[in-house]
């Protein structure tokens, strides 16, 4: 089964990671690549390690009216730039949008593949979650669904690698000189992922998420994301772990661990590691989620969603081990 695939925004970090996964996918055939600054160059010039069969594919300027015959399109564009263009893509083309324009849009499934795969299978349009929601909601979901914590009293402290700022991060003060040996909080009280997380928390917990607090940080590493989440509840650590083991039973990409998770465990993979620590006497439950922000937080989850869209095994092209060390 050969599925004709295109990638828009291929020269960005998310698009480049999508390229890496598509290039090794057993059912995907990349026939279209589009970008802005890279248009006109060959893929092999931008990505010298590509398989030879893809090296001569020329990157085109993104034009939704000029698409070749495609079955599936990955769109990795900055939030706020994709809605109008993707509306011009023919309905027959399946789309996975890695950007933020469609996460609450009518006609688009929300692509938390490990939580709601049945809402994605057979759809035509899927909006990938943001990287912070991917780590946070994966850790919180078993607790909220099991009624072990309160949805209205959640504090999220999350840290991501610099690639989370995108390739344009250097122009925003997130280049090497500014980021090396530095820790930077940003997007305080108004981060674009806040509404997305609040909606999902309310869906899972059945109550208001009005008390949600979220503080993201950039840390001086290339990739990786760790979310530490503080909630209120009377559960024990073992009850939280048991709830997660039951909730994710049979899910191929979730690892429930008794040890606090580390970002390095997930590097280069679509895995998510979750763990918990609880103190019932204080009514405190801590949830932790670790992912690769370009893997489960972006392109890995996008390929998982695409597999569900296309009726393929969910793990197709995603079973490689993380990179270590």
Mean of the per-residue pLDDT values of the chain: 95
Q: Is there a cis peptide before residue 201, judged by omega within 30 degrees of 0?
A: no
**pLDDT greater than 70 at residue 170:** no
Query: 231 near 283, Cβ under 8 Å?
Result: no
Question: Closest Cα to residue 125, out of 111, 139, 114?
Answer: 111
What are the C-alpha distances in Å from 239 to residues 146, 147, 290? 10, 11, 20
The band of 37, judged by pLDDT with boundaries at 50, 70 and 90, is confident
Q: Is the pLDDT reported for residue 84 higher than 90?
A: yes
pLDDT band at 172 (very low <50, low <70, confident <90, very high): low
Measured over the CA atoms of residue 1, residue 315, residue 74 and residue 267, the dihedral's sign is negative
Q: What pLDDT, on a 0 to 100 scale, did the predictor assign at position 167?
A: 63
- Region 97-113: mean pLDDT is 97
Would you state the pLDDT for residue 164? 82
Rounded Cα–Cα distance for residues 229 and 289 (Å): 8
Residue 305 DSSP SS3: helix
Summarize the confidence of residues 54-82 as an average pLDDT.
96
Percentage above 90 pLDDT, the chain: 90
| pTM tops 0.85, yes or no | yes
Residues 6+ apart with CB under 8 A from 55: 42, 43, 44
The confidence score (pLDDT) of residue 176 equals 83
Higher pLDDT, 172 or 251: 251
Q: How far is CA 274 from CA 96, 139, 240, 281, in A?
A: 25, 5, 10, 23
* pLDDT of 85 strictly over 90: yes
Question: What is the predicted pLDDT for the residue at 169?
Answer: 53
Token pair in block for residue 298: 């972006």
Could you tell me which residues come within 8 angstroms of residue 320 by beta carbon, excluding any fewer than 6 positions away? Answer: 24, 268, 269
- For residue 158, the cross-strand partners are 216, 227
Q: Which residues are catalytic?
A: 131
Using pLDDT thresholds of 50, 70 and 90, give the confidence band for residue 168.
low
When pLDDT is cut at 50, 70 and 90, the band that residue 67 belongs to is very high
pLDDT value of position 36: 86
Instruction: Report the interhelical angle of 237-247 vs 131-145 (nearest 10°).
Output: 110
Give the number of other CB atoms < 10 A from CB of residue 192.
Answer: 13
């Amino acid at each position: 089964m050969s599925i004709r695939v295109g990638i828009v925004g291929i020269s960005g970090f998310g698009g480049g990671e999508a390229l890496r996964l598509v290039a090794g996918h057993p059912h995907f055939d990349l026939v279209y690549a589009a970008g802005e600054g890279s248009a006109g160059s060959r893929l092999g010039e931008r990505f010298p390690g590509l398989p030879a069969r893809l090296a001569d594919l020329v990157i085109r300027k993104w034009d939704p009216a000029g698409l070749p015959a495609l079955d599936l399109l990955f769109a990795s564009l900055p939030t706020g730039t994709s809605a109008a263009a993707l509306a011009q893509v023919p309905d027959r083309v399946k789309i996975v949008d890695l950007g933020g324009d469609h996460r609450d849009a009518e006609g688009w499934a929300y692509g938390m593949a490990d939580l709601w795969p049945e809402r994605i299978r057979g759809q035509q349009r899927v909006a990938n979650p943001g990287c912070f929601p991917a780590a946070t909601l994966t850790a919180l979901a078993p607790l909220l669904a099991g009624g072990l914590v309160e949805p209205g009293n959640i504090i999220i402290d999350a840290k991501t690698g610099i690639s989370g700022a995108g390739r344009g991060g250097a122009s925003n003060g997130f280049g090497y000189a500014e980021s090396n040996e530095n820790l930077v909080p940003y997007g305080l009280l108004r981060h674009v992922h806040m509404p997305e997380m609040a909606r999902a928390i309310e869906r899972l917990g059945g109550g208001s998420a009005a008390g949600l607090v979220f503080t993201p940080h950039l840390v001086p590493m290339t990739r990786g994301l760790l979310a530490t989440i503080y909630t209120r509840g009377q559960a024990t650590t073992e009850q939280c772990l048991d709830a997660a083991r039951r909730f994710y039973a049979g899910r191929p990409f979730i690892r429930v661990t008794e040890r606090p998770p580390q970002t390095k465990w997930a590097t280069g993979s679509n895995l998510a590691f979750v763990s918990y620590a609880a103190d019932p006497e204080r009514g405190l439950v801590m949830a932790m989620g670790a992912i690769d922000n370009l893997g489960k937080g972006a392109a890995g989850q996008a390929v998982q969603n695409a597999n569900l869209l296309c009726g393929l095994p969910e793990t197709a092209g995603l079973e490689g081990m993380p990179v270590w060390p």
